[in-house]
Structure 1
């Protein structure tokens, strides 16, 4: 169900935020403005560059940020990141090795906005962890133009499920798939909040943004320079609502979910 969440804090273990790191912030702004109708406010970074806060009306829903120097040196493609809310990000970082993962970055205080950590589950799939300060997360969820779902594609799904259960205490529901595999959904207080599914390729997060019309949004994205990776598909038991997966002109992969 569409939800406005600006008045509450996200629960421990809920996906709460998404941002994209890209080589060209201005080009990223142009693309996502055309696709989702976001407006932007530029904010300075300590190294003299800037990132762009993305808004729907007055609600902050995402950020388009410059790549870090390491990503730039590798000429990396743009990447969408997902963040899970944490009551104590430092405690999550300390527990990560015992859960079979690795801390990639942090913990780091981001001024008064919160504490950030990036962790790698077993099998891969870098995951952000966010302890809220003044910034609690996306002000809209499961609405057009806002974060609506996230699922980890991983070659080690069972280990990844155990990892998130140990860090966040997730309960799970499991859905058998036609190929004999299982689609697992992580749960917080009996609500399904994210998915984990097996893949033969490298691990990655698939991040979904809500739209009112998938086919129309795909047309807008194509006109703005996107590549269609998965054409619009009708809803099924595991993923209600039509979906599609796109790559932005700088390589950032994201999905659409009709809400």
Structure 2
């Protein structure tokens, strides 16, 4: 990892609360059986502690990639209010059009968010995965984002009790020695009311859950329970400034784990 990027990541982690900001692209079910428009909720939140939600600005880019083709879905964006356990915040809904079988990788480039308490901007470039028909078609391919996490396990049906691995890239190159912050959606959003549901777990003791990338930019984490898991590399992106202030450009990925029946 570049020294400046590594320093930025460490500084961001040091300043972060025990359960940090995580950008979501949310739908409860990534495995799809029928064609149609899949509703999405874009929320900037503290999901593991079921905590404070942040106001999102209009995303700079929202798209999906299917079999190597990138399709913009920014025109489906509409503002909503997400009601968390502590407050309401500006969020967005959108729709993913699904027709053929295969992998649909949704990417979000949000507007930088100003975190007043730290006097920095945060931009969490986020990916989530859907699949129709159980047929793989590119879930392990990078999207060419400024920074991103590429899954090394199929991200739509990780088994609880197994492991998940990903490779962190910045400008297409693996990032060694980076800290990956790990988050769990403790209380899943209700798609009808845009409000948080009941929490199933509480924050873990000892602060953020963290893994470290190896010399190839790869990290591995044991998945202890079913549900939605997020992984964020803080300060991994090439951009370090926005409107004259420090910018933490982060890579975020979400997966879903299932229990074996």
TM-score where L is the length of structure 1: 0.32
Report the structure, 1 or 2, having the larger helix content. 1
Structure of greater relative contact order (alpha carbons < 8 Å, 6+ residues apart): 2
TM-score where L is the length of structure 2: 0.31
